[in-house]
Amino acid sequence: MFFDLTYLLALIVVLTVHECSHAWAATQLGDPTAERAGRLSLNPLRHLDLFGTLMLFFVGIGWGKPVPVNPRNFAKPVRDQALTALAGPAANLILAFLAGIPFTYLAHTSVFWGFSGALLDVSLLLFLFNMFPFPPLDGSKFYALFLPRRYQERYHEFLDKSMSYFVAFMIFDLYFLPSVLGFSLVWTTVSQLAFWLKTAILVIV
C-alpha cells in the first residue's frame, strides 16, 4: 500500500503531524527540549528518519525520527510522559476524522478524494499500531499512567529491555508467520480494527 504515491504522501503527512504533536504536547507540559531541537514544526524534513524510511521500503517496518523529551522538565513525569506519548496517536485519530469529511462528500473522481481516503487509512493504521503496549510504540508509555506507583520502576525496566524482542517479533510476524498461518497476526488485527473504526467515522461524519 505504501508504495503507491498517494499513500506515500499521506504517510509523510501523518508522520509529520504525529511527531509534531509529540513536540507540541511536551512543550505545553513544560519540556522545551523538542522545541529547541526544531521539532515543533510541520516541516516533514525535521521528522523523517532516513533509516526508518528506508526500512519502510525494504522491510515493511518504518518510523519517524523520535522526538527528544526530558522527563525532568515535567511537573509530573509519569503523567506528562504519558500525555506526550498519547499526543501523536491522538493527532492521527483527529486527522482521520478530518480526512473522513472530504472522503464522504467529495466526488469519487476527485484527486483530493483519493488523497483523503489514503490519509484516512494511514491515520487509522498508525493510530492503532502505535497504541499497542510494546516499546518503542507510544502505547507503551501511555499505559504506564494506569499502573500503581510500586510497579512503575519494574515496568520501565521492561520497556528498556523488551524493544529488541518486539522488533524481532514484528519481523517474524511479517515474514515468517504468513508462511505458516497465511497471514500476519499484527497487521490482520490492526487492519480489521481500522476497518471497523473507519466505518464508524464515516457514519459519524
Query: So what's the pLDDT on residue 180?
Result: 85
pLDDT tens sequence across 51-101:
666 666 565 566 678 899 999 999 999 899 999 999 999 999 999 999 999
3-state SS assignment for residue 48: strand
Summarize the confidence of residues 112-123 as an average pLDDT.
94
**In angstroms, rounded to a whole number, what is the distance separating the alpha carbons of residues 16 and 13?**
5
3-state SS assignment for residue 147: coil
pLDDT tens sequence across 143-181:
888 888 888 888 878 887 887 888 888 888 888 888 888
Residue 45: how many other CB atoms lie within 10 Å = 10
Active-site annotation holder among 19, 35, 153, 157: 19
Query: So what's the pLDDT on residue 33?
Result: 96
Query: So what's the pLDDT on residue 87?
Result: 97
19 is catalytic: yes
**Whether residue 50 has pLDDT greater than 90:** no
| Residue 145 burial (10 A CB sphere; 0-12, 13-18, 19+) | middle
Q: What is the DSSP letter of 52?
A: H
Q: Residue 181 belongs to what H/E stretch?
A: helix 177-181
**Whether residue 26 has pLDDT greater than 70:** yes
Query: So what's the pLDDT on residue 90?
Result: 97
Average pLDDT of the chain? 88
- Side-chain-side CA neighbours of residue 105 (13 Å): 8
3-state SS assignment for residue 64: strand
Which residue bears the cell 511537573?
A: 75
